Each structure stands twice: as C-alpha cells, then as structure tokens.
Amino acid sequence: MKNIKVSLCHCFVLILTVFTFFSCSEDNAPEQKADYNLLGITSVTINGSRIPVKADGVLLDLTDSKNIAGIGSLSEPYKKHFEIEYAILTKDLSASSVEIQSKYPDVSIDISHVVTSPSVITWIAKITREGYSESVIYNLSFFDPSLNKMFLE
C-alpha cells in the first residue's frame, strides 16, 4: 500500500512538471503592434517629385500626384512587415528614379531596379532599422503607356 502511494505521488509530480513545462513559454507574451514610424520615413522622391508619407509611416500621400496609384499591399502584423505596390505612369522609363528619406541615420534603405519588360521598370526599396522588427518594402512599377499596347487600345 505504501508503494502505491509513493508511485501515485511520483506520477502526480511528473504530470505537474510536464504541465508546468509546456504551459510556460515566451510565446505567451502579447505581441506588440507594429509602429512603422520607427523607420522615420518622411518622404519618397519619385522622378524628382517629393511625395510625403502619411501619418501611418508607410503609405504615400498621393493627393497631388495624378500619375501614381496604389495597386496592392501586403501586411503581416505579427512579423511587423508591410509591403506596398505603386504604379507610376511616365513618358521616359530611362529617367525613372526613386529616393527615400528617413529622419534616422541608422535606417537601412536598399533600392534596386529590375526591367520587367520593354514598357515596365520596377524599383524595389527595402527599409529596415537596426534593433527594430519593423520593415517596409515599396514596389514602384514605372509604366510607359506609349510602349504598351494595352494602353493604346
């Protein structure tokens, strides 16, 4: 009888230990909301025209930009990642340019471009900041409507 009580006690301790081990983890910490203002993006310059960024720290204020349209976005809140696509109509693809301004010196801005067709050039800008999880990617596709049959029909 004494051995049964000891065995039950050991089983209880073992079950309690396993339960405690699996119920306590760092994953239970509440996720913090992404704050893209930490990247300090103040404006994006497209073909020499400075376009301000809205209060959310990501979206472009296109109020005065008639040749630019937002065409899609991807938001991953738990990864603190935001990706946005813009289409820009231009008459000279070879003169297309993109610059991004941040108010913080430790922000990394990597800009590259890809010629996807004779009538489209896409600039990809990746913005991150050391010590922060937030990241933003701008996909800026420049279209020359005179080179694209779809626009001419």
Span 85-129, pLDDT tens digits: 999 999 888 889 999 999 999 999 999 999 888 889 999 999 999
pLDDT band at 31 (very low <50, low <70, confident <90, very high): low
pTM, two decimals, is: 0.75
User: Which of these, 109, 108, 102, 103, lies nearest to 131 by C-alpha position?
Assistant: 108
pLDDT > 90 in the chain, percent = 59
Evaluated on CA atoms 104, 55, 112, 73, the torsion sign reads positive
CB atoms within 10 A of CB 134: 19
Please name the residues in contact with 33: beta carbons below 8 A apart, sequence gap of 6 or more: 77
pLDDT at 29: 55
pLDDT band at 41 (very low <50, low <70, confident <90, very high): very high
Q: What are 83's two structure tokens?
A: 């990706």
The answer to whether 127 touches 41, Cβ cutoff 8 Å, is yes
